[in-house]
Amino acid sequence: MTVKLLPFDMASLLDNDEAISEYLTQVLDDGDSDELLRALGHIAKAKGMAMIAKESGLGRESLYKALASGSKPRFDTILKVIKALGVKLHAEPI
């Protein structure tokens, strides 16, 4: 008997600000920069890539490239995306 698995889409779980905030907080706590890019991509997909591209001032293609696995986007690009996503980062002592 073969079991067919459905593809997992993280973006489908990011349907409110609290879920997005918790997800991003967990990813930031892990400290993996590649995972951060993937997470930002999932959140952008959940909110709508076209809207995030417009709000960040990036073209859609540039946004996809910046958030692709293995990419090395500039820090100012990440800040633009984070602002367009409607979240903010904050520092606290560890």
**Residues 58-94: tens digit of each pLDDT:** 999 999 999 988 899 999 999 999 999 999 888 888 8
On whether the pTM is more than 0.95, the answer is: no
Q: What is the pLDDT of residue 59?
A: 94
Q: Average pLDDT, whole number, for the chain?
A: 92
Spatial separation of the C-alpha atoms in residues 69 and 59, rounded to whole Å: 18
Q: Residue 6 pLDDT more than 90?
A: no
Q: What is the mean pLDDT of residues 20-41?
A: 93
Average pLDDT over residues 39-60: 95
Separation of first and last alpha carbons in the chain: 50
Residue 94: per-residue pLDDT: 81
